[in-house]
Structure 1
Amino acid sequence: MKYLDLWADVEAISGPSGRFYYRRAVITWSRPKIWNPEDPEFSVPSSWAGHGGLYAMLRNHWRQAEGRRIAYIGKAISFTNRLNNKHNHFDIVERRGDTEVSCGRVRFERVKAHAGYYLELEDVVKFAVWHHSENVQGFSSLPGFRQSQPRVMLPWVIINEGYRFGGAMPRRIVYPAIGVEF
């Protein structure tokens, strides 16, 4: 086992076989676009269509003290299939003010991509940006300890690239150890 000094990077922790303990995911966020309440589907950016990952819904209305803020983090196996209002999933779109959506494509490193990892990433990211979140599911416990999750979550290092959300989205999240860099 490789031990680290207090100031060393946790990404370097590995076992005797050389396998790293922390899995790594890089999320590239698109520039947010307004979801018009009249449209039944969100217009997913062309380079994100057909892919999955995480999405962030931002709210902006006249009563907010500051500008737009992250109000919801979700996961999607397919952005095109998930971001529609056919079944009124997103009442947030119908409210007064603008709702914008940013899609985050995920690139997995040190681990083979798996659709179940989107839930783990969603839980960690929404805990990092919980200030104005309207997410309710998953906040009853720490990430990785939901009753609906059949297995314990392994450690993650999450790097956020692309759109910066006005500094509200950490550039790097380390979980567990809940270390964030802004």
Structure 2
Amino acid sequence: MNWIPEYKPTDFGGPVESMQNRAGKALYKNVTLVWSKPQLLELDEEKIKPFFEDDRPLLYAIIRNHHKMMRKNLIAYIGLSTNPKARFQNHPTAKELAAKRGATSLSYAYLDTGRSSSRIDTIKGSLEQIEHILIWALWSQHDLRNDRKVFTLPGMGTKGADAWRIINDGYRFSGTMPREIVYPWMLTRLGKDRSKKKLQT
């Protein structure tokens, strides 16, 4: 992606967390995800039975490792579930990945409501937006198997989207999970600035 260095982030006039609209409300919703230590995903009589702390809606990442990989902890799939204990009873992609040689593992994250914005209206709707943003943020660095939400930008669907500042905490995926994602933002590619006048002496 050689074009990236040509673009510069636009100066929005302050840190994301302090940006407000004219009514004094924060422009970006802050959300913190605390990713769990990965657990191995293994097929047991053609079933996968991961452990979850409780039944709250969550995001999850399926991770692949095998000895021939040039890099470790590559994320193969990003998903969400409103009923995590039932989700993996029928998850063809997870089964396919778990059947491959090498280790397949799972990390999950609940939305940390204590460290997140009070303006988050629904957990499920928020996680759907965040899942989409994560897929877009990770696809070029990982070999994601997601076949949905990759042909439209986050927020371009029928339901629209909010502005998000996503903080990823907990397990670090060997440094490949972004620590922070700000969506949306603005990039610009500037031309040569010829606006300065020469002073006559």
What TM-score results when the alignment is normalised by the length of structure 2? 0.76
Where does the alignment leave 5 or more consecutive residues of structure 2 unmatched?
A: 1-9, 188-201
Secondary structure of residue in 2 paired with 1:115:
helix
Question: Retained in 1: the 8 A contact 2:55–2:85?
Answer: yes
Number of positions where the alignment pairs a residue of Structure 1 with one of Structure 2: 170
Does 2:19 align with 1:20? no
CA distance in 2, matches of 1:59, 1:87: 16
User: Which residue is equivalent to 1:59?
Assistant: 64
Where does the alignment leave 5 or more consecutive residues of structure 1 unmatched?
A: none
Over 3 Å counting, the alpha-carbon distance change for 1:135 and 1:89 in structure 2 is closer
CA distance in 2, matches of 1:152, 1:14: 20
User: Which residue is equivalent to 2:155?
Assistant: 144
Q: Which moved more, 1:168-177 or 1:112-121?
A: 112-121
Secondary structure of residue in 2 paired with 1:116:
helix
User: Which residue is equivalent to 1:121?
Assistant: 130
- Of residues 147, 154, 158 in structure 1, which corresponds to 2:162? 154
Secondary structure of residue in 1 paired with 2:134:
helix
Does 2:176 align with 1:168? yes
Secondary structure of residue in 2 paired with 1:95:
coil
Over 3 Å counting, the alpha-carbon distance change for 1:178 and 1:134 in structure 2 is farther
Structure 1 stretches of 4+ with a deviation exceeding 6 A read none
CA distance in 1, matches of 2:27, 2:128: 19
1:111-131 deviation digits (Å, cap 9, x = unpaired): 233312211000111211212
Question: Retained in 2: the 8 A contact 1:79–1:103?
Answer: no
User: Which residue is equivalent to 2:90?
Assistant: 86
User: Which residue is equivalent to 2:82?
Assistant: 77
Question: Retained in 1: the 8 A contact 2:27–2:163?
Answer: yes
Displacement after TM superposition at 1:5 (Å): 5.9
User: Which residue is equivalent to 2:48?
Assistant: 41
CA distance in 2, matches of 1:129, 1:77: 22
What TM-score results when the alignment is normalised by the length of structure 1? 0.83
